[in-house]
Amino acid sequence: MLNKKTKRLFFALWPDDKIRQRISQVFISSAQYKKDGRPFKTQNLHLTLHFLGDVSLEKYECMLAAAESVEFESFDLRLDYFDFFKKPRVFWMGASEVPTELLQLYNRLGEQLSICEYQIEARAFTPHVTLMRKINRFDIQDKPQPVNWHVSQFALVESLPVRGGVVYKPVKFYS
């Protein structure tokens, strides 16, 4: 339960407005956009690195410090295909070639967060930008126009409940 003593947080790659608009345009031109489901709001588009969930204020301070110590090299990410996760019914855009620097960032951040009693998910890391939730079918055959994204920072993001959904608000950027 979210309360004033916790914050609902995650670490993510946070695209600038230009990249976010480009991802949204590519999604809107896809066949999946015209099908049932709940599209993600353009301002919320991101690529999750580590979902932390509800974090106490004490652990929050630890996680801020842990992220400060993570060093990584900037890299180029090419989002160039659509896919979906069947069980959570999520349609997404991903990269056919995942940069080594992205995997290193994911691993290094996870290692530092473990100091704060965070446990990395057991399932494999699948870098993706969620475009739509609650889809009932996925039969898309079209290949999207690629979106090239130069990544030079990551963010700690807070999930804030609002009427009709959530708003994701970057709390701090790390470069």
Residue 1 binned pLDDT confidence (cut-offs 50, 70, 90)? very low
- The pLDDT value given to residue 2: 46
Q: Give the residue extent of every domain in the chain.
A: 9-158
Chain centroid to Cα 133, Å, comes to 14
The two counts, helices (H) then strands (E), for the chain are: 3, 10
User: By the 8 A CB rule, do 15 and 21 touch?
Assistant: no
- The pLDDT value given to residue 50: 97
- pLDDT digit string, tens, across residues 71-100: 999 999 999 999 989 888 899 999 999 999
| CATH of the domain spanning 9-158 | 3.90.1140.10
Between vectors from CA 16 to CA 142 and to CA 164, what angle results, nearest 5°? 75
**Averaged confidence pLDDT in the chain:** 92
User: Which pTM value belongs to this model?
Assistant: 0.92
User: By the 8 A CB rule, do 171 and 12 touch?
Assistant: no
Helix axis angle, 100-113 to 57-68, nearest 10°: 140
- The pLDDT value given to residue 38: 87
- pLDDT digit string, tens, across residues 44-65: 999 999 999 999 988 999 999 9
21-44 mean pLDDT: 89
Count the helix, strand and coil residues of the chain and give each as a percent rounded to the nearest 5: 25, 35, 35
- The pLDDT value given to residue 36: 79
Residue 83, C-beta contacts closer than 8 angstroms, at least 6 positions apart? 91, 92, 93, 94, 128
